[in-house]
Structure 1
Amino acid sequence: MKNRTVSRLLRADVVDMGGMPVRQPFPTQQVEQIDPFLLLHHHVHQLPEGVSPRQAGVGPHPHRGFSPVTFVYKGGVHHRDSRGNDSVVYEGGTQWMNAGRGMVHSERPPADIEEHGGVQEIIQLWVNLPKAHKMNQPEYIPLQAEDTPVLVLDGERIKVRVVAGAFKEVLGPIKTPTPVLALRIGMEAGATYAFPIPEHYNAFLYLLDGSLQVEGYGLVDGHHLVLLNQDGEGCTVTARAATRLLLLAGEPLHEPVASHGPFVMNTQTEVLQAMRDFQQGRMGILIED
Structure 2
Amino acid sequence: MRKINKIHQATYAPIDDLITYRAIPTHDVEYIDPFLLLNHHGPQVYKPGNRGLPFGPHPHRGFETLTFILEGDIMHQDTGGGKDIIEAGGVQWMTAGSGLMHAEVSSEKFKQEGGPLEILQLWFNLPARYKMTAPKYIGLQKNKIPVVELDNGLVKVNVISGSWGEVQAPIQNLSDINMVSIEMEQGGEFVYNIPSERNIFFYVVRGSVKVNGETADKLSLVEFENTGKEIKVEALETAYILFGHALPFHEPVVSHGPFVMNTEQEIREAFQDYQMGKMGQWES
Fold match by TM threshold 0.5: yes
1:82 to 79, 82, 102: 79
| Aligned residue type for 1:135 | M
The answer to whether residue 5 in structure 2 is matched with residue 7 in structure 1 is: yes
Aligned to 1:43: 41
Aligned residues: 283
- Identity of paired residues, percent? 39
1:161 to 155, 158, 163: 158
On the 8 A contact 1:60/1:286 being kept in 2, the answer is yes
* SS of equivalent to 1:100: coil
1:235 to 222, 231, 236: 231
Aligned to 2:90: 93
In 2, Cα distance between the equivalents of 1:161 and 1:7?
26
2:24 to 18, 23, 26: 26
User: How far off is 1:215 after superposition?
Assistant: 2.4
In 2, Cα distance between the equivalents of 1:234 and 1:286?
47
Cα root mean square deviation, aligned = 1.6
Aligned to 2:240: 244
- Over 6 Å off, 4+ runs: 114-117
On the 8 A contact 1:94/1:142 being kept in 2, the answer is yes
Q: How do 1:125-164 residues align onto structure 2 when only pairs under 5 Å count? A: 125-164=122-161
> Structure 2: any 5+ residue segments left out of the alignment?
none
User: How far off is 1:114 after superposition?
Assistant: 6.7
In 1, Cα distance between the equivalents of 2:202 and 2:9?
12
* SS of equivalent to 1:146: helix
- Shift of the 276–162 alpha-carbon distance from structure 1 to 2, 3 Å rule, reads same
* SS of equivalent to 1:189: coil
User: How far off is 1:115 after superposition?
Assistant: 9.1
Q: Deviations over 1:84-139 (max 9, x none)?
A: 21111111111010000000000011222279962221110010001101101100
Aligned to 1:195: 192
- Shift of the 78–97 alpha-carbon distance from structure 1 to 2, 3 Å rule, reads same
Q: How do 1:49-128 residues align onto structure 2 when only pairs under 5 Å count? A: 49-53=48-52, 56-113=53-110, 118-128=115-125
On the 8 A contact 1:109/1:120 being kept in 2, the answer is no
- Shift of the 223–156 alpha-carbon distance from structure 1 to 2, 3 Å rule, reads same
User: How far off is 1:205 after superposition?
Assistant: 1.3
In 2, Cα distance between the equivalents of 1:204 and 1:22?
19
